[in-house]
Amino acid sequence: MSLRSAKPVKLAAFDIDGTLMPSVGTRMSERTMASLRAAVAAGVEVVIATGRRAAYAMPLLEPIGLPAATVLISSNGANTRDFAGNLMDCFYLSLPTARALCAELRPFGGTMVFTFDREGPGELVLESLDRLHDRIALWVDANLPYIEQVDPLERVFDRGEAPMQGMICGTVAQMTAAEQHLLGTPFAAEIEMHRTEYAERDLSILDILPLGCNKGVALAKLASRLGVAREAVMAVGDNWNDVEMLRWAGQPVLMCNASPALREEGERSGWLLSRATNDEDGAVLSLEDALPAVPDGQGTNAHGDVALAGKG
């Protein structure tokens, strides 16, 4: 599929980790940030769609310099707001379901984390900080100001506050088994599950959301709200939690650094494969290919010609 022959892109949605972000470090490249700003100047609605919650995503996004009205789809679609913090949508797991998930998932070796729609301590609640730190130390260290420990975890729901999202992480085998187990329980009719896998680290994160919450649904609602046709929407992602977004978008782009299994899925589905990895600005190269009037970080367009910011 050639993006240059497709309908002009009016909305471009990007995942963060493994897509806009390099594999190492906590800052996007100057090239990536410049291209995103240029796309906005050219009239493209740039949207960020991530599995991260908003407070964990914004420190990575603020240096780009996008407008405050830029939309952030976070927690895999459970929460949609703009960069200024204005809420558009938020969805919650039911209290009985969230409470029951604690016992259902304990046998699978991971540590359950619940995300609540608040800022500060108690935004993330888990049972054992030490067990989670053994598995995802960088995440724990970055989120310490937001974490509260409650043991047993079920007690957090005595407060009567419903979470947006549950998360459990462990090995790929553990989380595959956990997902299969939940599909066989009565809760399967009340939840949606999304996996993010890092095979090279034997790490898998299973997010558990209210039924109907995913990046694709959130993106479709936003496009409808903005009056943008599906065919004019580009979506760029690299992992399994991006699949619904890629399936919905009229112009889906799978990062070439995606896992072999996901690349096979992309080939079957007819998705475009990025021509460079996340470490080589592959996400915005795909955007530049679709919008050759948008300058890259060097001030030239996708064809190497000098381009004017905002033209197109």
As a whole number of angstroms, the distance between CA 49 and CA 295 comes to 23
More confident residue, 82 or 7: 82
Does the structure show a pLDDT above 80 at 262? yes
Q: Quick one: average pLDDT of 124-131?
A: 90
Report if residue 300 sits inside a domain.
Answer: no
As a whole number of angstroms, the distance between CA 83 and CA 105 comes to 34
- What integer pLDDT is reported at residue 1 of this predicted model? 42
Alpha helices in 62-191 (DSSP H): 95-105, 129-135, 137-143, 172-183
pLDDT-derived band at 135 (thresholds 50, 70, 90) equals confident
Phi, psi of 88 (to 5 degrees): -110, -45
pLDDT one-digit tens code per residue, 209-242: 999 999 999 999 999 999 999 999 999 999 999 9
Q: Are residues 276 and 220 in the same domain?
A: yes
pLDDT one-digit tens code per residue, 91-114: 999 999 999 999 999 998 778 999
pLDDT-derived band at 305 (thresholds 50, 70, 90) equals very low
Q: Are residues 199 and 223 in the same domain?
A: no
- Is residue 185 helix, strand or coil? coil
pLDDT-derived band at 310 (thresholds 50, 70, 90) equals very low
Does the structure show a pLDDT above 70 at 302? no
Contacts of 108 (CB under 8 A, 6+ apart): 168, 170, 174, 175, 177, 178, 181
- Is residue 148 helix, strand or coil? strand
Q: Are residues 186 and 272 in the same domain?
A: no
**Residues above pLDDT 70, as percent of the chain:** 91
- What integer pLDDT is reported at residue 307 of this predicted model? 28
Q: Are residues 200 and 221 in the same domain?
A: no
Strand partners, 207: 167, 194
Q: Give the chain's count of helices (H) and strands (E).
A: 10, 14
**Residue span of the structural domain in which 286 resides:** 3-90+214-290
What's 282's domain CATH number?
A: 3.40.50.1000
pLDDT-derived band at 133 (thresholds 50, 70, 90) equals confident
- What integer pLDDT is reported at residue 159 of this predicted model? 95
Our measurement of the distance from residue 208's CA atom to the centroid of its chain's CA atoms, rounded to an integer in Å, reads 14
Are the beta carbons of 19 and 237 closer than 8 angstroms?
yes
Report if residue 308 sits inside a domain.
Answer: no
Q: Are residues 191 and 234 in the same domain?
A: no
- What integer pLDDT is reported at residue 298 of this predicted model? 52
CB burial class (10 A; 0-12, 13-18, 19+) of residue 189?
exposed
- Is residue 108 helix, strand or coil? helix
- What integer pLDDT is reported at residue 293 of this predicted model? 56
- Is residue 11 helix, strand or coil? strand
- What integer pLDDT is reported at residue 134 of this predicted model? 79
Does the structure show a pLDDT above 60 at 9? yes
Q: pTM of the entire structure?
A: 0.89
Q: Is the dihedral of CA 122, 124, 128, 132 positive or negative?
A: negative
pLDDT-derived band at 292 (thresholds 50, 70, 90) equals low
Q: Quick one: average pLDDT of 139-155?
A: 94
Q: Write out the two tokens for 209.
A: 């959301």
Q: Are residues 85 and 218 in the same domain?
A: yes
- What integer pLDDT is reported at residue 136 of this predicted model? 87
The secondary structure of residue 85, as a DSSP letter, is -
Q: Write out the two tokens for 85.
A: 């913090």
Q: Are residues 85 and 40 in the same domain?
A: yes
pLDDT one-digit tens code per residue, 148-157: 999 999 999 9
Q: Are residues 84 and 223 in the same domain?
A: yes
The secondary structure of residue 10, as a DSSP letter, is S
Q: Write out the two tokens for 14.
A: 């990007």
What's 185's domain CATH number?
A: 3.30.1240.10
- What integer pLDDT is reported at residue 119 of this predicted model? 87
| Tally of CB atoms within 10 A around 62 | 10
Q: Quick one: average pLDDT of 15-24?
A: 97
Does the structure show a pLDDT above 60 at 46? yes
Report if residue 311 sits inside a domain.
Answer: no
- What integer pLDDT is reported at residue 88 of this predicted model? 97
pLDDT-derived band at 191 (thresholds 50, 70, 90) equals very high
The domain boundary residue, chosen from 210, 232, 256: 210
